[in-house]
Amino acid sequence: MIIILLVSMFAAITPFVYGIYSQEVLHVPFGDKPASTGTLVAIGLGVIALVGAANYLIIKMTLKVKITSDALWVSFPPLIRRWRKFTPSMIERYEFRTYNAHREFGGHGIKKRPRKGSAYTISGKEGLQLYFTNGKKLLIGTQRKQAFEYALKKLMETEKRSYD
């Protein structure tokens, strides 16, 4: 992943570096309507800042899930810093399933599709599909299916026992 991010940074700044080199060292105007070297430097720095910020977000993104005695909590920093709470009364049913993030949601990350629902995934193919009482759906990717399944089963059983 780091290699891909470095290649993206290199691909983004190469035209600006070449343009500056062409105009300052070779004394050949860069493009049909050449911009000044100062403009090329400013735009190049802007591109570096934007690509750098996007790469930083990609590197720092983590999917955090915790299950307490009363709820399932999900956070996806740095994009969603606040913990979202899902209580057993909100969950109609759930299942663990294999998914294809690219085919179903257009890739990993925070995704929302009209018929598929929402998805929070980082990598992998295993996830928890939640079906809510309001008709909405949420897929949460996991690398630790067994631990997740055990904790969620306990959470849902605790809710059932409180109704009996």
Distance of CA 83 to the CA centre of its chain: 15
98-131 residue pLDDT tens: 999 999 999 888 999 988 899 999 988 999 999 9
63-98 residue pLDDT tens: 999 999 899 999 999 888 899 999 999 999 999 999
Last residue of a domain, one of 60, 80, 104: 60
Q: Are residues 46 and 101 in the same domain?
A: no
Distance CA 63, CA 77 (A): 7
Distance CA 24, CA 46 (A): 20
Contact 71, 83 (CB under 8 A): no
Q: Whole-model pTM?
A: 0.72
Q: What is the CATH number of the domain that holds 82?
A: 2.30.29
Count: domains in the chain: 2
Q: Are residues 56 and 128 in the same domain?
A: no
Q: Are residues 105 and 154 in the same domain?
A: yes
131-153 residue pLDDT tens: 999 999 999 999 999 999 999 99
Q: Are residues 46 and 79 in the same domain?
A: no
Hey, what are 2's tokens?
């780091």
Secondary structure letter of residue 15 according to DSSP? H
Q: Are residues 116 and 140 in the same domain?
A: yes
Residue 98's Cβ-count burial label (10 Å; 0-12, 13-18, 19+) is exposed
Tell me which residue range forms the domain holding 92.
Answer: 64-163
